Amino acid sequence: MANQQLFLGIDCGTQGTKALILDALSGQVLGQGAAAHSMISGANGRREQDTQQWLDAFTQATHQALAAAGVDGQAILGIGVSGQQHGLVLLDDQGQVLRPAKLWCDTETTPENDRLLTHLGGEDGSLERLGVVIAPGYTVSKLLWTREQHPQLFERIASVLLPHDFLNFWLTGRHSSEYGDASGPGYFNVRTRQWDVPLLQHIDPSGRLQAALPELIEAHQPVGRILPAIAQHLGITPDAVVASGGGDNMMGAIGTGNIQPGVITMSLGSSGTVYAYAAEPTVSPQPSVATFCSSSGGWLPLICTMNLTTATGAIRELLDLDIDAFNALVVQAPIGAEGVSMLPFLNGERVPALPHATGSLLGLTTTNLTRANLCRAVVEGTTFGLRYGLDLLRANGLKAQSIRLIGGGSKSPVWRQIVADIMDTTVICTEQSEAAALGAAIQAAWCHSGQQDGLAELCERCVKLDPASETRPVAAHVAASQQAYERYRQHVATL
Give the amino acid at 81.
V
Q: How far is CA 70 from CA 9, 80, 232, in A?
A: 16, 20, 18
With cut-offs at 50, 70 and 90, classify the pLDDT of residue 455. very high
Contact between 278 and 290 (Cβ < 8 Å): no
| Cα angle 213-219-224, degrees, rounded to a multiple of 5 | 70
Mean of pLDDT values over 119-132: 96
What pLDDT does residue 33 have?
98
pLDDT tens for each residue of 303-352: 999 899 999 999 999 999 999 999 999 999 999 999 999 999 998 888 88
> For residue 1, is pLDDT > 80?
no
Whole-angstrom distance, CA of residue 439 vs CA of residue 248: 9
Listed residue (52, 2, 50, 51) closest to 23, CA to CA:
2
Whole-angstrom distance, CA of residue 359 vs CA of residue 288: 19
Kind of pairing, strands 28-36 and 40-41?
unpaired
What pLDDT does residue 117 have?
97
Active site residue 466: no
Collect all residues with Cβ–Cβ distance below 8 Å to 247 and sequence separation of at least 6.
82, 83, 84, 85, 162, 164, 180, 181, 184, 292, 295
Tell me the average pLDDT of the chain: 96
Contact between 399 and 252 (Cβ < 8 Å): no
Whole-angstrom distance, CA of residue 240 vs CA of residue 257: 24
| Cα angle 133-137-141, degrees, rounded to a multiple of 5 | 75
Written as one string, the DSSP assignment of 348-372 is BBTTTTBTT---EEES--TTT--HH
What pLDDT does residue 44 have?
87
> For residue 98, is pLDDT > 60?
yes
Residue 272 falls in which region: left (phi positive, over 0), alpha (psi -120 to 50) or beta: beta
* φ and ψ of 267, to 5 deg: -110, 125
Whole-angstrom distance, CA of residue 39 vs CA of residue 53: 10
pLDDT tens for each residue of 80-90: 999 999 999 99
Contact between 209 and 143 (Cβ < 8 Å): yes
pLDDT tens for each residue of 213-262: 999 999 999 999 999 999 999 999 999 999 999 999 999 999 999 999 98
Mean of pLDDT values over 273-277: 96
pLDDT tens for each residue of 152-195: 999 999 999 999 999 999 999 999 999 999 999 999 999 999 99
- How many Cβ atoms are within 10 Å of 207's Cβ, its own excluded? 11
Written as one string, the DSSP assignment of 300-325 is EEEEEES-SHHHHHHHHHHTT--HHH
Domain 257-429+465-495: which topology? Nucleotidyltransferase; domain 5 (3.30.420)
What pLDDT does residue 121 have?
98
Mean of pLDDT values over 358-367: 96
Whole-angstrom distance, CA of residue 36 vs CA of residue 467: 31
Kind of pairing, strands 76-83 and 6-12?
parallel
pTM score: 0.94
* φ and ψ of 493, to 5 deg: -60, -25
Whole-angstrom distance, CA of residue 16 vs CA of residue 270: 13
Mean of pLDDT values over 193-206: 97
Whole-angstrom distance, CA of residue 2 vs CA of residue 438: 22
352 upstream amide cis, omega within 30 of 0: yes
What pLDDT does residue 71 have?
96
What pLDDT does residue 43 have?
85
Listed residue (421, 400, 448, 393) closest to 79, CA to CA:
448
Domain 6-247: which topology? Nucleotidyltransferase; domain 5 (3.30.420)
> For residue 2, is pLDDT > 70?
no
Listed residue (171, 176, 179) closest to 247, CA to CA:
179
Mean of pLDDT values over 293-303: 95
Which residues, listed in sequence order, are joined to residue 21 by a DSSP beta bridge? 8, 31
List where CATH 3.30.420.40 sits in the chain: 6-247, 257-429+465-495
Q: Which of 181-195, 397-411, 452-466, 472-486 has the lowest mean pLDDT?
A: 397-411
| Active-site annotation holder among 114, 248, 320, 324 | 248
> For residue 148, is pLDDT > 60?
yes
What pLDDT does residue 108 have?
93
